[in-house]
Amino acid sequence: MRDYYNVKINLPGGIASPGVLKGILSAARKADVQDVRFGARQQLLMTVHYEQMKFLERDLKAIGIQYNINPEKHPNIISSYCGEDVFRTGQWLDSNEYHTVFDSFEHMPELKVNISDSNQSFTPFFTGNLNFISSPEPHFWYLYVRPKQSNILYKWEELVYTNEIGKVAREIENQLLNRPAADLPELFAIVKEQLAYIALPITQELELPAFSLPYYEGFNRYESRTWLGLYRRDEQFSVEFLLDVCNLCMKTRIGEICTTPWKSIIIKGIEDQYRSEWSNILGKHNINVRHAANELAWQTEDNTSEGTQLKQDLIRYIEKNDTRTFGLCFGIQTKPKSEVFGSVLIRKRPLLQIGQLSLWSVYDLYFTENFNPNSRNHILFEKGLYKIHLAGQVERLCRKFSNKRFRDIPENNRHETEEVSKAPVQIQTAHQCPHCFTIYDAAFGDTLQNIPAGVLFQDLSDTYLCPTCDTPKAEFEKITISEIAIS
């Protein structure tokens, strides 16, 4: 008998009701669980001692919560809902549309299902087996099918209507699991024959945005409210802290807690009158926010301390050497059949294997085509690296990416004989928030806080706060801005 069980609880779409989550966490606390994690597919994970497992099972059953101790069975439906509102895209897709999609699933999928806004790059598009991506046509979705343990991506020949996604997904899953030998174009014909559903012809190709991971931690303003992103270096959230979060959400009428594929959580809709109470909870549990952006851009496998430790080692090396990682995200794979999301992929493999026994390990370093993490084409950069050499090669690959971006910018590729007109440059100063990089420029003022243009930074009230993340005026840093004078 195992000493511990890894328990997985799916949160469809990465959405948790504070009341339901409180019930789960209360059961976990009674089973002597101190910390929980959120997985790469936006699910809740916990490790339970075998002697406590029967008590957890009893309490979860009493509140109607399904769980699994086999992480590969019934993978969670993931979505980009966690970025809705806070990372605005301006598309037709809103929270009600997401909920309509989730409600259309009357079964627990055995294949991975991704629901994605096509205008965001916060969550992955193609890590699922069934990948639904919003189209320019309101309420209709592209579908990309990828069979299990395959790198083949097949574009469905029609756009699928929002309300039909659940039943289309179920029929495709039935066919893929029961007829694995069928080729994908044949699969489309079979499903069309078996199932009537609302669809539209595809009139334009899917266009995905360039990857840019938004900063998703700390207090941030949107519209007239605040959202809070929380990340933990060790990926562990204490049960007591999350119970306090649930209680405050219920007290302040926040109906949802969102989990992300980056193993973090986002709480939306914090009203100004309750901001201090949220700060008090963070202080009570010694929760830090505003980690460096390069630390947030990593994805590791679920239930592996090895990947987490390797991530921390590499981050320390990158910080020590002040390596530029902007525009990149990193994935660490220590298990042969797992999948992680990243434009740079680190894969561990045994140097020598005898039966089930692995002797010594090395690492292969890959990057995706055009460094786009949604690409399925992985290009080998270095093979067979010992751990001691890995960090240096990761830094070398980061420099390769930065050089590529420099070469790809048209302004940097001018012909030597091309004449570029020059104008005098004026140097001006402004002040920048050191956390979210919002700039206060007296030439523009601060429209969000009704400060007109022309008000100098030193003339602002000492109580002035950053309009994005509420950083105090005293923490702003002076910067220089170059302007081209136009005659």
For the cut 60, the answer to whether the pLDDT of residue 412 exceeds it is: no
The amino acid present at 220, given as its one-letter code, is N
Beta-carbon contacts of 30 under 8 Å, excluding residues fewer than 6 positions away, are: 55, 56, 59
Q: At what angle do helices 184-194 and 165-178 cross, to 10 degrees?
A: 120
pLDDT in tens, 215-272: 999 999 988 899 999 999 999 999 999 999 999 999 999 999 999 999 999 999 999 9
| φ, ψ of residue 471 in degrees (nearest 5) | -70, 135
**N-terminal to C-terminal alpha carbon distance within the chain:** 81
| φ, ψ of residue 282 in degrees (nearest 5) | -60, -40
- Ramachandran bin of 150, using left for φ above 0, alpha for ψ from -120 to 50, beta for the remaining angles: beta
How many Cβ atoms are within 10 Å of 91's Cβ, its own excluded? Answer: 16
Model pTM score: 0.83
Helix (H) or strand (E) holding 143: strand 140-145
CB of 414 closer than 8 Å to CB of 460: no
For the cut 70, the answer to whether the pLDDT of residue 487 exceeds it is: no
CB of 382 closer than 8 Å to CB of 367: no
For the cut 90, the answer to whether the pLDDT of residue 341 exceeds it is: yes
Mean pLDDT for all residues in the chain: 89
pLDDT in tens, 95-123: 999 999 999 999 999 999 999 999 999 99
By mean pLDDT, which of 102-106, 369-373, 483-487 is the weakest? 483-487
Indicate the pLDDT class of residue 416, thresholds 50, 70 and 90.
very low
CB of 311 closer than 8 Å to CB of 394: no
pLDDT in tens, 171-196: 999 999 987 666 788 999 999 999 99
Per-residue confidence (pLDDT) for residue 310, from 0 to 100: 96
Residues facing residue 201 across a β-bridge: 158
For the cut 50, the answer to whether the pLDDT of residue 464 exceeds it is: yes
Per-residue confidence (pLDDT) for residue 436, from 0 to 100: 66
Find where tokens 């989730």 sit: 102
Short-list 329, 360, 219, 371, CA closest to 282: 219
| Residue spans of beta strands (DSSP E) within 287-356 | 298-300, 330-333, 344-354
Interior/surface letters 155-176, b for 16+ CB within 10 angstroms, e for the rest: ebebbbbbebbbbbbbbbbbbb
How many Cβ atoms are within 10 Å of 88's Cβ, its own excluded? Answer: 12
Per-residue confidence (pLDDT) for residue 481, from 0 to 100: 62
* DSSP 3-state of 353: strand
Indicate the pLDDT class of residue 406, thresholds 50, 70 and 90.
low
pLDDT in tens, 313-333: 999 999 999 999 999 999 999
CB of 402 closer than 8 Å to CB of 410: no
Distances (CA, A) of 131 to 1, 42, 80, 125, 222: 38, 16, 12, 7, 29
DSSP for 15-69?
EE-HHHHHHHHHHHHHTT--EEEE-TTS-EEEEEEHHHHHHHHHHHHHTT---BS
For the cut 80, the answer to whether the pLDDT of residue 356 exceeds it is: no
Find where tokens 């950069």 sit: 381
